[in-house]
Structure 1
Amino acid sequence: MAAGRDAILLETRHVKAALSAMTVKTDRKDARGIAPLLRMGWYRPVHAKSVTCKDSRALLVGRKLLQGKLLDVELSIRGILRGYGLKVGDVSRGRFEARIRELTAGHVALETVIGAMLAARTALWCEFTKLHREMLKIARADKVCRRLMSTPGVGATTS
């Protein structure tokens, strides 16, 4: 809100359709084209998301990205080892690194490559858990999320 006036977000498709008749596209002419739309009320206002909504979205997107990259690294490690005839098998996240080191013991080239990938995995896991804890904290503090989590099968991530 500047100069005592409310800011209005406009539907971009409507504005584009109105401005498409102009032959020369410049910022000044765009402003001259938008002004009559506002004066005559030929616009559709768009909802602006709140800062907290954007913060929550950023947290969820970042968490999902790290989770995906973590899985990619783990699957790549399994794929590299499979090329050498080594199978990791069903292993929990906590025992994954120990199992991989056990399989690569004595193979210098594998220890170097897989060691670097395990270091990357550890860093990804550490940062993922930070974001996950933050998400859980926000979900537990929010009244609506707590109500949604009371439904069977709906956890903090879904709510």
Structure 2
Amino acid sequence: MEHYVGLDVSLKLTAICIVDRAGKIRREGTVHSDPEAIAAFIKSNAPHVARIGLEAGATSTWLCTELKKLGLPVICIDARHAKAVLKMQINKSDRNDAIGIARIMQCGWYKEVCVKDLDSHAVKALLASRALLVKIKRDLENQVRGLLKNLGLVIGPAKMNVFALRAAELIEDRPALAVAVAPLLSARMAIEQQIADL
């Protein structure tokens, strides 16, 4: 007999519901949101699992990847599409969401989303980190320009190391201003090094 499984995942716990081909609930439970624990529950209670569904979310890439490695037929479904079905339930809870997702798997009324592999996410994280560092560097430069401009000191167009040299020249004989600007220039230099390392 085929079984269909719905997972409602949160950071700590995952509600699991197993239904049969007719949509009758065969087993329910809650386990830690760990692929091994989820796989153990499913394998012991649904030996003939046809489909396992979970909504797309923050941890869905990791869970899908790990559950597939453990040999389970997991499908990541569009969260907006699932929400349209799940909001028809009277009581909104993790347990009821797991039941709803299991029934979505059973009747086949779902929209599968593509789950990128972990390497793609690693590259995306690298690019996001670099973009943030570039923004921080630009913000530091704009802050330095603003502090100097208030006193009529203009750095002007300056790229790369010219910016730091020009700013250092302008604050050289102004110790009160140097106290505010020098830490920003040091932070900018450290950020610049991190960008180069990336």
| Pair in the same fold by TM > 0.5 | yes
Are 1:117 and 2:184 matched, yes or no? yes
Instruction: Give the CA deviation at 1:92.
Output: 2.7
The match for 1:12 among 75, 79, 83 is 79
Match of 1:88 in 2: 155
The match for 1:32 among 77, 95, 99 is 99
Tell me which amino acid in the other structure corresponds to 2:187.
A
The match for 2:129 among 48, 52, 62 is 62
The Cα offsets for residues 23-82 of structure 1, whole Å up to 9 and x where unpaired, read as 111111111111111011111111001111101111111111111111111111111101
Tell me which amino acid in the other structure corresponds to 2:85.
A
Instruction: Give the CA deviation at 1:3.
Output: 6.4
Q: Tell me the percent identity.
A: 34
User: What TM-score comes out, normalization by structure 1 length?
Assistant: 0.78
Question: Match of 1:121, SS?
Answer: helix
Question: Match of 1:74, SS?
Answer: helix
CA separation of 1:63 and 1:4: change in aligned 2, threshold 3 A: closer
Instruction: Give the CA deviation at 1:83.
Output: 0.3
The Cα offsets for residues 105-150 of structure 1, whole Å up to 9 and x where unpaired, read as 121111111101001101110101111xxxxxxxxxxxxxxxxxxx
- Structure 2: how far apart are the matches of 1:92 and 1:31? 55
- Structure 2: how far apart are the matches of 1:3 and 1:75? 51
What pairs up with 1:40-51 in 2 under 5 angstroms? 40-51=107-118
Match of 1:143 in 2: none
Match of 1:151 in 2: none
- Structure 2: how far apart are the matches of 1:46 and 1:87? 52
Count of aligned residue pairs for this structure pair: 131
Residue segments in structure 1 that go unaligned for 5+ positions in a row: 132-159
Question: Match of 1:46, SS?
Answer: coil
4+ residue stretches of structure 1 with deviation over 3 A?
Answer: none
Instruction: Give the CA deviation at 1:95.
Output: 2.0
Instruction: Give the CA deviation at 1:6.
Output: 1.5
- Structure 2: how far apart are the matches of 1:63 and 1:4? 36
Match of 2:174 in 1: 107
CA separation of 1:104 and 1:48: change in aligned 2, threshold 3 A: same
Tell me which amino acid in the other structure corresponds to 1:128.
I
Q: CA RMSD in A?
A: 1.4
Tell me which amino acid in the other structure corresponds to 1:61.
A
- Structure 2: how far apart are the matches of 1:39 and 1:26? 20
- Structure 2: how far apart are the matches of 1:108 and 1:5? 66
Higher helix proportion (structure 1 or 2): 1
Instruction: Give the CA deviation at 1:90.
Output: 2.1
